Amino acid sequence: MQALITLAAFVFTLGLLVSFHEFGHFFAARCCGVRVLRFAVGFGKPLFTYHTKNKTEWVVASIPLGGYVKLLDGRDRNQVISESEKSESFDQKPLWQRSLIVAAGPFANFFLAVILFALIYISGAPQLPAVVQSPPESSQAANLGIVEGDKVIGWQKLGSEDGSLHHSGEFEPVVSWNALRWLLMDALTARDGFALEVETSTGGRQIKIFKEGDLPSLTPERDPITALGIRPMLTPMAEWQELKLGPFQAVSFATERVWLISKVSARLMAGIFTGESSVKQLGGPLSIADMAGKSVQVGWQPFLAFLALMSISIGLLNLAPFPMLDGGQLLYDAWELVAGKRISLSTQEYLQKVGFLLLISLSLLALFNDLQRYFSP
């Protein structure tokens, strides 16, 4: 039964996130007057087809792992486009519209993440308080006098010039350990100093300043937050606080959260190529399926949070400047903007092959990591 739940959650996750991504392309294309020939959910043999008045074929296919959008495009040698249809062809549109259509897919994923997080905040979500364990003796947190039971209630980024507190003295409220964790990761990946407002077990308040030069460096071998010395204390559920917001406040808070997570995730992805992050962090289909199955069994809120995080990951991955991805096409568009001419089709086809080999290699590496996690002793 658990295997069926995991499989169903995995299929639903990929189907929803990829279809929403493709709907972003579809919506932008229709807004720009480009004809969409096909919107397919899944791959393989069509199980259901429907033709609309605007000549779009909607397809539900037999393999529900993703989907795609096919546009009217004069670059496709298999398409015969008449003179009357050229105004609806993707390749005939101005550069800004073509770039908008390409970028709309990833940004649809970010938009979906905002909606999913907002739904959680509107319904009310229990939050683990940002109460810390006793830090290791040699850690920066211990050196600053943080002790077990201290509760982080405020956050402030230090001034970039001299590493001092802002003159306003205002701290951003820290509503939970999860919020603090992402703020810490943002500071550590950006190498920015920060200050914490701490409430002690006796009710007093202290300011702890973590300067840029004292922050632990990012390495593949250790967790940077643990190296900093700040770890959560597992408090009873009765002490957790519910975060419940109104619709507009929830959307605003969710937007800030998606932006923060996106920044951190992008730096960690880039760190794989700079050596600051380990390639072992790459997860493949087995990891995704496992996390989908576990989160859906915990409850609908953890599953929505998982979907939001996955949606952000898909958006960022597609913005990577690799051929075969949306980011690769945006790189072509940037070249056209600077050089004043498009990259030739032959060059694009060659780069597509290179990009395909690169993506296959990364996919195999992610699958290898999955197999190591599940079969290593």
Give the model's confidence band at 168: pLDDT under 50 very low, under 70 low, under 90 confident, else very high: low
Q: Which residues have a Cβ under 8 Å from the Cβ of 23 and sit 6 or more positions away?
A: 39, 108
Q: Please check whether residue 23 lies inside any domain of the structure.
A: no
Whether 114 and 144 map to the same domain: the answer is no
CATH number at 153 reads 2.30.42.10
Residue 10 falls within a domain, yes or no? Answer: no
**Confidence category of residue 298, pLDDT binned at 50, 70, 90:** confident
State residue 106's pLDDT score. Answer: 95
Over 90: is that where the pLDDT of 277 sits? no
Average pLDDT, stretch 243-265?
93
Residue carrying the six token digits 């397919």: 40
279 CB-contact burial (10 Å; exposed 0-12 / middle 13-18 / buried 19+) = middle
Tell whether 105 and 133 lie within a shared domain.
no
Quote the number of domains for the chain: 2
Q: Which of 219, 243, 267 is the last residue of a domain?
A: 243
Residues 152 and 194 in one domain: yes
pLDDT for the residue 165 = 62
Confidence of residue 175 (pLDDT cuts 50, 70, 90): confident
Domain membership flag for residue 267: yes
The string of pLDDT tens digits covering residues 204-226 is 888 988 888 878 877 666 777 88
Give the C-alpha separation, 52 to 50, whole Å.
Answer: 7
Same structural domain, 143 and 239 = yes
Q: Which residue has the higher pLDDT, 122 or 164?
A: 122
Say whether both 265 and 371 belong to one domain.
Answer: yes
Query: How far is it, in rounded angstroms, from Cα 314 to Cα 328?
Result: 15
Query: Can you say how many angstroms the Cα of residue 104 is from the centroid of all Cα atoms in its chain?
Result: 15
Q: Is 125 helix (H, G, I), strand (E, B) or coil?
A: strand
pLDDT of residue 257 exceeding 70, the answer is: yes
Closest CA to 122 of 253, 237, 20, 240: 253
Is residue 182 domain-shared with residue 273, that is, in the same domain?
no
Flag whether 51 is in a domain: no
Quote the CA–CA distance of 209 and 61 in Å, as a whole number: 56
Pair 236, 299 in one domain: no
The last residue of one of the domains, among 243, 260, 277, is 243
Binning pLDDT at 50, 70 and 90, where does residue 7 land? confident
One domain, residues 268 and 341: yes
Phi, psi of 78, deg, nearest 5:
-85, -5
Instruction: Note whether 328 and 362 are same-domain residues.
Output: yes
Q: Torsions phi, psi of 74, nearest 5?
A: -65, -15
Of the candidates 22, 170, 221, 242, the residue annotated as catalytic is 22
Sign of the alpha-carbon dihedral angle for 187, 191, 193, 198 = positive
Cα separation, 348 vs 238, whole angstroms: 58
Q: What percent of the chain has pLDDT over 90?
A: 30
For residue 28, being part of any structural domain is answered with no
22 is catalytic: yes
Is residue 49 in some structural domain? no
Domain of 276 in residue numbering reads as 94-124+246-377
Query: Cα-flanking dihedrals φ and ψ of residue 159, to 5°?
Result: -60, 135
Same domain membership, residue 376 and residue 313: yes
- pLDDT, residue 278, reads 64
Q: What is the DSSP letter of 56?
A: P
**Model pLDDT, residue 107:** 96
Indicate the residue among 205, 227, 243 that finishes a domain.
Answer: 243
pLDDT tens column, 314-350: 999 999 888 888 999 999 999 989 988 888 888 888 8
pLDDT at residue 166 tops 80: no
Q: Which residue in 287, 271, 328 sits closest to 103, CA to CA?
A: 328
Better-scored residue on pLDDT, 37 or 349: 37
User: Given this model, what pLDDT does residue 44 score?
Assistant: 82
Q: Verify that 369 and 255 share a domain, yes or no.
A: yes
Residues 115, 160: one domain?
Answer: no
| Cα separations in angstroms, 322 against 73, 319, 344 | 21, 8, 17
Q: What is the pLDDT of residue 29?
A: 95
Mean pLDDT across 226-241: 84
Beta-carbon neighbour count of residue 263 at 10 Å?
A: 16
Residue 345 placed within a domain: yes
Position 155 in a domain: yes
The whole-chain average pLDDT of the chain stands at 85
